[in-house]
Amino acid sequence: MRDVWIAAAAMTRFGRRSESLDDLIADAALEALREADCQPDALVVTAMAPEEFVGEGNLASHVGTYLGLSHLPGIRVETATSSGAAALYAGLALIASGLHNRVLVVGGEKMTHVSTPRVSEIISRVIDPHERSYGATMPALAALVTRAALAKGLITETDMARVAVKNHANGARNPYAHFQQPVTLEEVMSSRMIADPLRLRHCCPISDGAAAILLTCDPTGLKLAGMGQGSDYLAVRYRKSLTGFQATQAAAKAAFKMAGFGPERVQVAEIHDAFAPFEILALEDTGLFPPGKATKAVQNGEVTLEGRLPVNPSGGLKARGHALAATGIAQVVELAWQLTGRAVGRQVNARVGLAHSIGGMATNNWVTLVEQVA
């Protein structure tokens, strides 16, 4: 298997954008191509639900043509809300296998032009149909997980709020973030209840945005060191445990195995905090903290920008925003910028980074490891 390297990483600002999906994707892709100064020989495209949000299908050809790259072999990849990470994996596989040498991986989502109930309904289709027939939405399932974690004493409501406060503080320093204002603990804990015990300020926003990464077989110093996937039953009711995600545990195990090192080498992490308590659960599921230690780390500031292991320096899904298929790529863009000293305003000192992406209600999760080896 050949080593795979990151030649360029770019993204648009996440948020409520007036541009079309095509133009958001083009902005990210062209920026990556300019930075890399080389041409891709294959294209991997991702968007979670462009058929629903913007009415476009046959996306690989659609995007290929818009970018002037229709002559390249192109595929579209989709694994619900982790589609961006899955697209990176496809790019990694194409290069590692020797099938291609330089792959442009680009993903985006445009949904703020659609009404919020309609967006929720489209996103809800990633849920098991029987559970959906009982009114289960993503916040509902996340609330069931959170309630169980609270009851087991794994997290407290204050810890959940601390995660949101930290990620908003980081987002306030990231010009690419959807939310660029800090929030206080009181604001989080008194915000509107969405799905008891989850409040508005625990939940990520609906964002537009795009991100692109050019992968190459030529060493660049920035290595895509490991990637792993973990899956689980679509139905939450089939799982014996609600309070840890088996899919994250399996993904982390596979990623560390490919990279040939363990969680102790990770110095910065981008975690899928679509709901604030998920950040705490993921810190343990990925092995970054031993069981029972993640809440301590949140309490004593170990995961802030100045801490031992900064988590979500970008602001995470909570503050940078969650443009569905763009998110998994944007997380790795943030790691690339952090590891090469380009994360202006929020730079941390790190050589190894971890990204964690959740698809659906943790049915198709990914862990990605990036290493600065130059």
Partner 1 sequence: MMETIAASRCPQCGWVVTPPVRICPRHPVEMTPLELSGYGYIVSYTTLTAAPEGFKPPLHIAIVELPGGARIFCHGKETRALRIGRRVAIEQTDGIFYFASLGIADRVSLFWKRRGAAPERTRDAVKSALKRFFSSPTDAAPSAQPPAEPAQKGTNSADTEHPPAAKK
Name the minimum Å distance from CB 195 to partner 1. 5
Mark the segment that binds partner 1 (CB under 8 A) among 71-79, 163-171, 193-201, 343-351: 193-201
Question: Which x/- pattern, by CB under 8 A, does the window 196-215 give for partner 1?
Answer: xxx-----------------
User: Which residues are CB-neighbours of 216 under 8 A, at least 6 positions away?
Assistant: 4, 5, 6, 7, 36, 38, 95, 101, 102, 103
Mark the segment that binds partner 1 (CB under 8 A) among 59-67, 70-78, 98-106, 189-197: 189-197
Under the binding rule (CB under 8 A), the answer on residue 193 touching partner 1 is yes
**Helices (H) then strands (E): counts for the chain:** 14, 11
Q: What is the residue whose two structure tokens read 């991997």?
A: 44
Under the binding rule (CB under 8 A), the answer on residue 130 touching partner 1 is yes
Under the binding rule (CB under 8 A), the answer on residue 244 touching partner 1 is yes
> Looking at beta carbons only, is 112 or 249 nearer to partner 1?
249
> Looking at beta carbons only, is 17 or 202 nearer to partner 1?
202
Under the binding rule (CB under 8 A), the answer on residue 155 touching partner 1 is no
Q: At 27, phi and psi to the nearest 5?
A: -60, -45
Contact 15, 208 (CB under 8 A): yes
Query: H or E stretch including 8?
Result: strand 5-11
Contact 122, 53 (CB under 8 A): yes
Under the binding rule (CB under 8 A), the answer on residue 240 touching partner 1 is yes
Label the pairing between strands 209-216 and 5-11.
antiparallel
> Looking at beta carbons only, is 152 or 293 nearer to partner 1?
152
> Looking at beta carbons only, is 174 or 249 nearer to partner 1?
249
Q: What is the largest CA-CA distance in the chain?
A: 55
Distances (CA, A) of 180 to 170, 253, 318: 8, 34, 11
Contact 130, 235 (CB under 8 A): yes
Name the minimum Å distance from CB 194 to partner 1. 6
Which of 242, 258, 339, 348 is close enough to bind partner 1 by CB under 8 A?
A: 242
Alpha-helical (H) ranges within the chain are 21-36, 50-53, 59-66, 83-96, 116-124, 129-133, 138-151, 157-171, 185-189, 246-259, 276-285, 294-299, 316-319, 327-339
For residue 337, what are its two tokens?
Answer: 């910028």
Under the binding rule (CB under 8 A), the answer on residue 140 touching partner 1 is yes
Under the binding rule (CB under 8 A), the answer on residue 190 touching partner 1 is no
> Looking at beta carbons only, is 29 or 251 nearer to partner 1?
251
Label the pairing between strands 42-46 and 102-109.
parallel
Name the minimum Å distance from CB 348 to partner 1. 30
Mark the segment that binds partner 1 (CB under 8 A) among 37-45, 82-90, 142-150, 350-358: 142-150
Under the binding rule (CB under 8 A), the answer on residue 330 touching partner 1 is no
Under the binding rule (CB under 8 A), the answer on residue 115 touching partner 1 is no
Name the minimum Å distance from CB 136 to partner 1. 6
Contacting residues toward partner 1, per CB under 8 A: 117, 120-121, 124, 130-131, 134-137, 139-140, 143-145, 147-148, 151-152, 192-198, 233, 235-238, 240-244, 246, 249-250
